[in-house]
Structure 1
Amino acid sequence: MQEKHISHYNEVKGFDTDQLREAFLVQKLFETNKIKSVYSHADRMIIGGVTPEKPLDINELTPSSQAFFLENREMGIINIGGSGQIRVDGISYRLDLMDGLYIGKGQESIEFSSHDPNNLAKFYYISTVANIEYPTTMIFERDAEKLELGNKKAANERVLYKYIHPNGVKSCHLVMGFTTMLEGSVWNSMPPHIHERRSEVYLYFNILQTDLVFHFMGCEDQTRHIVVRNEEAVVSPYWSIHSGVGTTNYSFIWAMSGENQLFADAKAVELTNLK
């Protein structure tokens, strides 16, 4: 399991492009018949992807200090590929495109599979530490709390879908959902903000091979950018702004973990303070 260690903001000021990408960018999450995972020491989040041609068991990743992968963890999953199935302690859940699944602490057996070998499922998952058990729950895009944000003039018209949150599917620490930029809109979270009590991870997807996204991060007076391509993720530490702009519209899955689950607990950053 690859690891991403926490970088202090004063250290990041001196990073070159390669160092910045090594510290915060997560690549190659979806490889056929592999369970990919990256352990981020920022709030101990595990970021991963599963692209099963044959059934794959998450417990292949179980650390030696644990009896099974979710012994002390919970997990949120969103399928961004073909139809597939997740079997949790003997119960099967079908996940079509953009369907989600929350799996609570204590579930021992978790197996991923695809329905069509010519159109494999792509299960993106985030796992966070947990000390309370919540029930495993299916999540459908049509049932999610939806927020329509932005406007055409600012090129930031987008729809935000909340999947795992206090007023929806409940969890111990994990908050998760996705945002889709509408046609003609390219800016997300601008003006930016900071979650000082949480870390966040973004998976960018629905990006053509000829397009890309610039993910903005860093302190408000020391901003940096990371060039992100399709199905790549960025770890956003508690001290960093986050925003992005694409060469065309795109989508991204966001996931957070930390001290609380409040969307309103964010520090707004004025555009006049950005450098």
Structure 2
Amino acid sequence: MTVDLRYATGPETVETATTAQLRSRYLIENLFAPAEVRAAYTHEDRMVVAGAVPAGTTLALPPLDIVGTPGHLDRRELGVVNIGEPGEVLVDGTPHKLGALDGLYVGRGSDVAFTGDGACFYLVSAPADATHPVARFSRDTTEPVHIGDPATASARALYRYVWGGGHPSCRLQFGVTVVSDGSVWNTMPAHLHRRRTEVYLYTGLPHDARVLHILGRPGATRHLFVADRQAVIAPSWSVHAGAGTAPYAFVWAMAGENTDYGDLDPVAVADL
């Protein structure tokens, strides 16, 4: 299994970095490969993000040496979102079918595997100190929160799967946001999470389209051009917002001191 290790960084590293250094520190480019599980481990809140593409096989979620336990979820909880065709997640042998952009929460201590010819599973795990039950979340039956405004090209539908209200978790929050046709911004005005790390995984972009993702401290921001099925790590000191050249969606996931979705610090556009 391929594991990409990312160390924690400070805000000054963004202001002086080259584009290549920014991409190597914050952008995760190659998570998805047929018949493989690929992972990236970041020391920012010790999150693991991974991609599992069964491609006609049954893929087990393997342990990582850096996690230090025989099973990946021995001391962790897991969020799964399917960004491909329908497939199944096997949790302790029980199948859970996920369609496009459906989600699944898996509690500490479970064994997990993946099946589905065209399925493509995005995974996020975080340390856990309690065990919570498995829960499936359907995008079709989850009531979205409609935010933003077409006048500012920021209209979007926010699907909250695990977010501090509803199903419990230890540290993990995750969900999906779908940007409305005609809008480009996924978050604007931008904000900070002083007590959490957030990772965005962009999906649904055409091959030749990109999202211009903004990162860094307010007043000293930089940017990355991000392709489909690539993820960006946002440490607690960094804003995270982006504008796409074509319609897209993104999976957001957070881990840190709490699971209060509203615990954030807005940043005015004029302060960026």
Give the shorter-chain TM-score range.
Answer: over 0.9
Cα deviation, 1:30-61, whole Å, max 9, x if unaligned, reads 10000010001100000001000211111254
Give the Cα separation in 2 of the matches to 1:188 and 1:92: 33
Pick aligned residue for 1:224 from 222, 226, 231: 222
Cα deviation, 1:99-140, whole Å, max 9, x if unaligned, reads 211100011x211111xx3xx100001000000100011111
Residue in 1 aligned with 2:101?
98
Residue in 2 aligned with 1:257?
255
Q: Which amino acid aligns with 2:88?
A: Q
Pick aligned residue for 2:27 from 22, 25, 28: 25
Deviation at 1:153, TM superposition (A): 1.0
Residue in 2 aligned with 1:141?
139
**Do the aligned residues in 2 keep the contact of 1:145 with 1:168 (CA within 8 Å)?**
no
Deviation at 1:248, TM superposition (A): 2.0
Cα deviation, 1:190-244, whole Å, max 9, x if unaligned, reads 1111000000000001100121100001011110001000010000000001111
Alignment: residue pair count: 269
Deviation at 1:94, TM superposition (A): 1.3
Instruction: State the identity %.
Output: 36
Structure 2 residue 67 is matched with structure 1 residue 69: no
**Do the aligned residues in 1 keep the contact of 2:63 with 2:70 (CA within 8 Å)?**
no
Give the Cα separation in 2 of the matches to 1:12 and 1:83: 38
Residue in 2 aligned with 1:88?
91
Partner-residue secondary structure (3-state), 2:39? strand
Give the Cα separation in 1 of the matches to 2:177 and 2:119: 20
Query: 5 Å matches for 1:150-189?
Result: 150-189=148-187
Deviation at 1:63, TM superposition (A): 5.1
Q: Which runs of 5+ in 2 are unaligned?
A: none
Cα deviation, 1:146-193, whole Å, max 9, x if unaligned, reads 110111111111100001122222211100001111110001211111
Partner-residue secondary structure (3-state), 1:22? helix
Give the Cα separation in 2 of the matches to 1:145 and 1:44: 30
Deviation at 1:62, TM superposition (A): 5.8
Once structures 1 and 2 are overlaid, which stretch shifts more, 28-37 or 88-97? 88-97
Pair 1:264–1:185, CA change in 2 (3 A)? same
Residue in 2 aligned with 1:239?
237
Q: Which amino acid aligns with 1:228?
A: V
Residue in 1 aligned with 2:15?
13
Give the Cα separation in 2 of the matches to 1:145 and 1:255: 18
Pair 1:64–1:162, CA change in 2 (3 A)? closer
**Do the aligned residues in 1 keep the contact of 2:175 with 2:252 (CA within 8 Å)?**
yes
Pair 1:222–1:97, CA change in 2 (3 A)? same
**Do the aligned residues in 1 keep the contact of 2:164 with 2:261 (CA within 8 Å)?**
no
Pick aligned residue for 1:206 from 204, 213, 231: 204
Give the Cα separation in 1 of the matches to 2:5 and 2:66: 13
Q: Which amino acid aligns with 2:161?
A: Y
**Do the aligned residues in 2 keep the contact of 1:9 with 1:239 (CA within 8 Å)?**
yes
Partner-residue secondary structure (3-state), 1:178? strand
Q: Which amino acid aligns with 1:16?
A: T
**Do the aligned residues in 2 keep the contact of 1:63 with 1:69 (CA within 8 Å)?**
no
Normalising by structure 2, what TM-score? 0.96
Q: Which runs of 5+ in 1 are unaligned?
A: none
Deviation at 1:90, TM superposition (A): 1.9
Once structures 1 and 2 are overlaid, which stretch shifts more, 17-26 or 205-214? 205-214
Pair 1:38–1:64, CA change in 2 (3 A)? closer
**Do the aligned residues in 2 keep the contact of 1:131 with 1:172 (CA within 8 Å)?**
yes
Q: Which amino acid aligns with 1:85?
A: E
Pair 1:207–1:24, CA change in 2 (3 A)? same
Once structures 1 and 2 are overlaid, which stretch shifts more, 138-147 or 12-21? 138-147
